[in-house]
Structure 1
Amino acid sequence: MADIATRVYNHKWKIDPIVRSLLDTDFYKLLMCQSVFRNKPDTQVTFSLINRTKSIRLAELVDEGELREQLDHIRSLSLSRGESTFLRGNTFYGKRQMFRPDFMEWYEGMRLPPYHLEKRDGQYELTFEGTWPEVMLWEIPALAVLMELRSRAVLDGMGRFELQVLYARAMTKVWEKVERLRDVPDLRLADFGTRRRHSFMWQDWCVQAMLEGLGEKFVGTSNCLIAMRREVEAIGTNAHELPMVYAALAEDDAALARAPYTVLSDWHDEHEGNLRIILPDTYGTEGFLKNAPDWLTQWTGIRIDSGDPATGAETAIRWWKDRGEDPREKLVIFSDGLDVDKIIELQTQFAGRVKVSFGWGTLLTNDFRGLVPDDALAPFSLVCKAVEANGKPTVKLSDNPNKAMGPDAEIKRYKRVFAVGEQERVEVVV
């Protein structure tokens, strides 16, 4: 196990590129990338960094030269032979050869496209433009780089013993969470913390702690590189990116209303079992489920990623019952802003009513709250989203209006098309 504090002190991270492999990404990105490669390979998309926590002025914390150095390094990466063998030959979700030969040939030869970086009002404007399959693979490494450079900036002035104590306290904090979760009956928990982690080494340490502390209750990690190295399951399905881009490509309101289901129809053609998980909140869960085609009731489950999680789960349970399905046979995955108290609360509330699973993100892999002066390592909400497709803006409404994005006129149009009424605002912490 790496001595993280010593590595930080001796090398100031120079020995460790932040992103050291194209597999240092989330599994769902590769699954979605293959789907896009098959169905929408020529779509031109723009991704953009969005810092929802304006008080964190990244351009004043993170050196531009170091940021460019890390981004340029990522552009030099390609799959190694061992990494390619892992993707081609491994079994994922019970399926051999999850990734098709044509996709793998493309991915093995792919290099990430150029980026555009500017400073404006204390923030970085970082954008990526190009064909959808290439550009979408920037999202996770771009976020990981910015998050870790922020961590490095805060840690840079700390001495050897100060760092040792800091990491000892952070490790204790994680382990105390593990101990509280250890005795929760029927718990199923995965690491979803790549995008906003403290650092790669820290995420890797957290996964090892979960493996030892939770045993079979820990079902895997979203991070492909860590999954390969630690021989655990790679976990992930799909994200808001797919319906956002499909919707932007819609030619009229009728096509827009169909877009979220067209996405899942394409997904249905490729995947089965536990990969058939509905993410219903892109344009409002209530409306999505109300208008969903009957074949979606046969899918394995639903992921709750915005709004009040208990409300979202109750809505899903009612929907399954109304459509003649037994909710006890369905899977509900909670993945938004989780920490130990909420995990235990939701597990207790829904155990026996549905199959419950958790994707634990930022507050697993980046919970340094209260450990440094001014809480300078507290996690914050940084995202990298598709903002344009074939020249048209994308929109996300969410079940929490604080997560909405897109031009005001388009947001108004989408709310009309998807019949989204008043929504409760929930603070976005991470």
Structure 2
Amino acid sequence: MVDIATRVWNHKWKIDPIVRSLIDTDFYKLLMCQSVFRNRPETRVTFSLINRSTHVPLAKLVDEGELREQLDHIRSLSLRRGESTWMRGNTFYGKRQMFTPAFMDWFENLRLPPYHLERVGDQYELTFEGSWPEVMLWEIPALSVLMELRSRAVLGTMGKFELQVLYARAMTKLWEKIEHLRPLDGLRVADFGTRRRHSFLWQDWCVQAMGEGLGNSFVGTSNCLIAKNRDVEAIGTNAHELPMVYSALAETDGALAQAPYDVLSDWHEEHDGNLRIILPDTYGTEGFLKNAPDWLAGWTGIRIDSGDPATGAETAINWWKSRGEDPKDKLIIFSDGLDVEKIAELHAQFQGRVRVSFGWGTMLTNDFKGLTQGDRLAPFSLVCKAVSANGQPTVKLSDNPNKAMGPDAEIERYKRVFGVGEQVRSEVVV
């Protein structure tokens, strides 16, 4: 097992590039990339960094030269032979050859496209422009780089013994969480923490600790490289990016209303089993389910990623019942702002009524809250989103209006088209 504190103290960052591989990314990103490669390869997109936690002055904390060095390193990466073999030959969700030969041929020759970086005040403007299948693969590594550079900036001010104590406390904190979860009968929890992790080494440690501490209750990790290296399941389906871009490409209000279902129609042709998971909250869960075609009710489950999770789950259960489906056969994946208390609460509330699973993110892989003076390592909310497609702005409404994004006029149009009424605001912490 890696002695993380010693590795940090030695400051040998050249042997620890933040992103070590093109598959040091989330599994859903590769699945979505294949879908985009097949269905919308000519679409031109722009992705942009968005720091929701404006109190964190990234440009003051993270050196621009170091940031460029890490981004340039990512552009030098290509798929390794063993990684290609893993993707081509492994079984994912019970399916062999999840990734087609045509997609793999393309991916094996890919280098990520250029980036544009500019300092604006105490923040960075970081954007990526180009073809959708290429640009979309910047999202996760860009976030990982900025999160870890911020961590390194703080860790670089610490002495050897202070670092040993810091990581001992962080390990103890995580192990206590694991012990809190261990008694939950039938628990299913996965690591979803790549995008806002403390560091690669720390995420890798967390995955190993979860495996030992929770046994079969730990069902896998979203991180492909760690899944490959640690021989655990790669977990993931799809995300808001797909309906956001499809919707931006819609030329009429009617086409806009249909766009989120077009996404899932394309997805339906490619996947079956547990990959048939609906993410309904991009433009409001209630309206999405009300207008959903009947064939979607037959899908495996729903992921709840914004708004009050219990309310979202009840909405899903009632929808399945209204469509003649038995909720006990369905899967609900909770994935928004989770920590152990909320996981235990939701598990107790819904276990036995539906199949329940949890995608545990930032508070698994980056909970250093309260462990440093001034709380300088507390997690914060950083995202990298598609902001335009073929020159048209993207919009996200969410079930939490504090997560909404897009031009004000377009947000109002989308609310009208999708019938979104009053929403309850909740704090976005991570």
**Shared fold, TM over 0.5:** yes
Map of 2:135 onto structure 1: 135
Amino acid of the structure 2 residue aligned with 1:44: R
Map of 2:386 onto structure 1: 386
Map of 1:95 onto structure 2: 95
Map of 2:60 onto structure 1: 60
Quick one: distance in 2 between partners of 1:374 and 1:429? Answer: 17
Quick one: distance in 2 between partners of 1:49 and 1:306? Answer: 20
Map of 1:186 onto structure 2: 186
Quick one: distance in 1 between partners of 2:380 and 2:13? Answer: 22
Map of 1:158 onto structure 2: 158
Quick one: distance in 2 between partners of 1:14 and 1:225? Answer: 19
Map of 1:267 onto structure 2: 267
Offset, 1:12: 5.1
Alignment deviations for residues 130-149 of structure 1 (CA, whole Å, 9 cap, x no partner)? 00000000000000000000
Alignment deviations for residues 8-63 of structure 1 (CA, whole Å, 9 cap, x no partner)? 00125332000010010000000000000000000000000000000001001000
| SS of residue paired to 2:220 | strand
Map of 1:364 onto structure 2: 364
Map of 1:277 onto structure 2: 277
Map of 1:120 onto structure 2: 120
Quick one: distance in 1 between partners of 2:384 and 2:193? Answer: 15
> What are the within-5 Å matches in structure 2 for residues 195-234 of structure 1?
195-234=195-234
Alignment deviations for residues 88-142 of structure 1 (CA, whole Å, 9 cap, x no partner)? 0000000000000000000000000000000112100000000000000000000
Q: Work out whether residues 329 and 354 of structure 1, in 8 Å CA contact, stay in contact via their aligned partners in 2.
A: yes
| SS of residue paired to 1:124 | strand
Quick one: distance in 1 between partners of 2:14 and 2:271? Answer: 41
1:320 aligns with 2:313: no
Moved more, 25-34 or 4-13: 4-13
Alignment deviations for residues 138-172 of structure 1 (CA, whole Å, 9 cap, x no partner)? 00000000000000001111000000000000000
Quick one: distance in 2 between partners of 1:121 and 1:68? Answer: 18
Quick one: distance in 2 between partners of 1:125 and 1:237? Answer: 29
Map of 1:408 onto structure 2: 408
TM-score by length of 2: 1.00
Amino acid of the structure 2 residue aligned with 1:56: V
Offset, 1:302: 0.0
How many correspondences in the alignment?
Answer: 430
> What are the within-5 Å matches in structure 2 for residues 99-114 of structure 1?
99-114=99-114
Quick one: distance in 2 between partners of 1:424 and 1:258? Answer: 25
Amino acid of the structure 1 residue aligned with 2:376: A
Quick one: distance in 1 between partners of 2:149 and 2:137? Answer: 19
Alignment deviations for residues 345-390 of structure 1 (CA, whole Å, 9 cap, x no partner)? 0000000000000000000000000000111100000000000000
> What are the within-5 Å matches in structure 2 for residues 304-319 of structure 1?
304-319=304-319
Map of 1:345 onto structure 2: 345
Amino acid of the structure 1 residue aligned with 2:142: A
Quick one: distance in 2 between partners of 1:11 and 1:382? Answer: 25
1:33 aligns with 2:33: yes
4+ residue runs over 3 A deviation: none
| SS of residue paired to 1:197 | coil
| SS of residue paired to 1:14 | helix
Alignment deviations for residues 292-322 of structure 1 (CA, whole Å, 9 cap, x no partner)? 0000000000000000000000000000001
Quick one: distance in 2 between partners of 1:387 and 1:156? Answer: 34
Q: Structure 2 regions of 5+ residues with no counterpart?
A: none
Quick one: distance in 1 between partners of 2:13 and 2:303? Answer: 36
Q: Work out whether residues 247 and 259 of structure 1, in 8 Å CA contact, stay in contact via their aligned partners in 2.
A: yes
Map of 2:236 onto structure 1: 236
| SS of residue paired to 2:15 | coil
Quick one: distance in 2 between partners of 1:428 and 1:12? Answer: 35
Map of 2:376 onto structure 1: 376
Quick one: distance in 2 between partners of 1:272 and 1:34? Answer: 15
Quick one: distance in 1 between partners of 2:302 and 2:121? Answer: 39
| SS of residue paired to 1:283 | coil
Quick one: distance in 2 between partners of 1:418 and 1:154? Answer: 44
Quick one: distance in 2 between partners of 1:308 and 1:12? Answer: 43
Amino acid of the structure 2 residue aligned with 1:257: A
Q: Work out whether residues 12 and 156 of structure 1, in 8 Å CA contact, stay in contact via their aligned partners in 2.
A: no
Aligned-pair RMSD on alpha carbons? Answer: 0.5
Amino acid of the structure 2 residue aligned with 1:50: I
Amino acid of the structure 2 residue aligned with 1:277: I
TM-score by length of 1: 1.00
| SS of residue paired to 2:396 | coil
Amino acid of the structure 2 residue aligned with 1:363: M
Quick one: distance in 2 between partners of 1:243 and 1:318? Answer: 24
Quick one: distance in 2 between partners of 1:16 and 1:352? Answer: 44
Amino acid of the structure 2 residue aligned with 1:59: A
Amino acid of the structure 1 residue aligned with 2:208: Q
Amino acid of the structure 2 residue aligned with 1:202: W
